[in-house]
Structure 1
């Protein structure tokens, strides 16, 4: 891909491109964007663009917040200054190779809008690099696929939507051969769009897939993860399928994880700073402080990795998601899973994270908490869990609701130190709004339980 503004302009002319697609990412991790003419795009590259502030003033259903300060009816929803990141250029292969770029609300030095998720991650990444660490991250996603269209879904009963394939067949070669056109189109389209996958397979549950995205620099990893979710949905539409990254589709089935893998490197020396061959478990002191930092900070930042009402219905015992503040070696029942088998692959997997997250915020949380542990030299005093992490209450449990978790984060001095007071105030207000919206809604569960009997 072209690397400079001059190269990009030359490419647009050589390829006779007439339009370009641009997008920013809102607080929920949703892409908000537009198509602009090639001429307009060239002027945007030179001087930036105005992007309506409403993208940080409403929820995922486009309903305006009444409790945030950054924008709203009180200031008339002005434009914020957005800047295209030319390093994010991709071609949308399934849309006639239209060029695509991400933008955010920060300048060349990374200074910008406090509530912008991509700007937040860039700031925390700069902190890591200033402290001598290059963070390499990746995210893996699980999601459900259903044989329906948006029109059919919204006109019927969502709970009765037909899964793409029946039965519980994790890692099934047989099941992946069903709807194989979708399966292979997704793998190939991701590769063509700059989202290389390490693997794609079925998970346990009807119509469930899991994909592991190739690791990279933390900012690139978050770009890939965010674009992956939209790519899946767009490719699914083309095959008569709807994909959902809800954390918990059904109380009868496992939820959807969005586990984040992370390590810190000295790239000049090509050294994984998490690995120590002399340690019994191959963990360096840096890694131990990093793990301890996440254990310490997790209660202060949980809404960043479990951001919706639905997130907490995934975090239940025996459903492949953690419920306790625990860590272990290669143990899928704990919140943090250490993998330290080799020099190149030693890493931490944060398993609390669900597929419903905003990847920029989830990766910001993981990295900031780990750096906090290193910075404060927090010792990893809690022993690794041996056996069932659901039964290990030695360090406490994970909050059981978004309301509880948000209340803790809102008052947390740790959260404000890690993410800034302005961001914490805005983000917690959006989560309080989410709780209010749910509390005011009469659900199907209530109708079925109370309509006839009460």
Structure 2
């Protein structure tokens, strides 16, 4: 028998080979009937195929053919380039949109508790030559984690993710509603909101929260809390710290889990940052992060005089230095920029402070606290987690390498004399394109590609006539 695609191109580590044997045995022993092989696209949205169990065994050897055409879509599957143009995305290998190969990562295999006899596995997208597609965002994060490992550090992330639960009144499934984008569903509130962290508000939606929590735990995710947030039906889930790649994998599955289970039980969940619902309050993604040394020590922990070590201080300085250029990665939607408002618990400028939730970067923990870490409050819940985390590693490594200084803390972050975050996705794309550091780390093809995808959304938005314009001009003029 000839070597498998995976062996021929040496795409797995020894750990993954061992895991593949265990997965194959588990599929047989548990009598699983199908496996979902999933790939997180440029937006962090899961795409993939459902495989019969027998076919999955061959996929563990040779991967699964998959359409690279998925890479040319913006958020709602509008093509950003002519599909068959030569070198349309800056990579000649994409000409004609050939099939790629989804290579499963056996270490990510799980059995879905809400679907009978069904497994789930994450994959990376490769060309048939064995080379990873340069637009594969999971591969991008893995590359950055490898560079950090070369520096002698591991990245640890704690996730706080906010979202809205609403009752689904009408899914709007007439053919006229099924364009791209489709007509959004009609929903109603599930709880009253505006009694932050009260037990009674959380209990109003306890039935669906119980379903979500039980399935999250059943998948082995290190869930810490389920919390009632500020707006009506706004929730937050938080997790214990995880290694970088596992944290990002957890987020993509979590969002899919919450949306699928909510729909199955008559609800609609959204990770849109600022939904157009009465009394809605913006949702964010607060990313807690630190580095550990080979012996497991927290490299950010300071002493009795300084809350942060020198490494933590330099890393934080890098986050601040490149925050504007990374905005398109932390806040990739037009809607997300409507969250940056003064006194909103979301940052509007590039500042840091100790234990201050108005700053972009909060130093969480006190002097002499071994658990001191950095919380970046800039992200929106819809961000691609692989790119969000990669942006932090790139920025922090640059801060350490160049011994950057974060400057003084901002005791009043919304009044500080500090650079403003981009006010729109359009400006964020410009800052991203112009970053020499991001071009060096991601490579020109990815920077130009991702900017092209996001600019296409901006262009479509600018061409649309909004409700605001209709109200503002239709009658008076």
Q: Normalising by the residue count of structure 2, what TM-score does the alignment of the two structures yield?
A: 0.88
Other structure's SS at 2:171 match: helix
Q: Establish whether residue 136 from structure 1 lines up as the match of residue 160 from structure 2.
A: no
Q: Deviations over 1:88-124 (max 9, x none)?
A: 01111011251100001259xx962211110100000
- Contact 1:148-1:161 within 8 A present in 2 as well: yes
Q: Paired residue for 1:277, among 303, 311, 336?
A: 303
Q: Paired residue for 1:331, among 351, 356, 367?
A: 356
- Contact 2:170-2:185 within 8 A present in 1 as well: no
- Name the Cα RMSD after superposition: 2.4
Q: Paired residue for 1:226, among 246, 252, 273?
A: 252
| Higher mean displacement: 252-261 or 214-223 | 252-261
CA shift, 1:420, in A, is 1.8
Other structure's SS at 1:263 match: strand
Q: Deviations over 1:168-188 (max 9, x none)?
A: 121010011112110111111
Q: Normalising by the residue count of structure 1, what TM-score does the alignment of the two structures yield?
A: 0.93
Q: Paired residue for 2:447, among 424, 436, 450?
A: 424
Other structure's SS at 2:143 match: helix
Q: Counterparts in 2 of 1:47-126, with a 5 A limit?
A: 47-66=62-81, 68-69=88-89, 75-105=95-125, 112-126=132-146
| Higher mean displacement: 141-150 or 113-122 | 141-150
| Residue ranges of structure 1 left out of the alignment (5+ in a row) | none
- Contact 2:32-2:117 within 8 A present in 1 as well: no
CA shift, 1:281, in A, is 2.8
Q: Counterparts in 2 of 1:15-414, with a 5 A limit?
A: 15-66=30-81, 68-69=88-89, 75-105=95-125, 112-148=132-168, 151-152=171-172, 161-250=187-276, 253-266=280-293, 268-278=294-304, 280-341=305-366, 343-380=369-406, 382-386=407-411, 388-393=412-417, 395-414=418-437
| Higher mean displacement: 65-74 or 158-167 | 65-74
Other structure's SS at 2:272 match: coil
Distance in 2 of aligned mates of 1:17 and 1:101: 13
Other structure's SS at 1:94 match: coil
Q: Deviations over 1:215-261 (max 9, x none)?
A: 21100000001111111111211221101111111485431101111
Distance in 2 of aligned mates of 1:153 and 1:259: 34
Change (3 A) 1:159 1:184: closer
| Residue ranges of structure 2 left out of the alignment (5+ in a row) | 1-15, 83-87
Distance in 2 of aligned mates of 1:73 and 1:111: 10
Partner of 2:12: none
CA shift, 1:358, in A, is 0.7
- Contact 1:138-1:218 within 8 A present in 2 as well: no
Distance in 2 of aligned mates of 1:440 and 1:149: 30
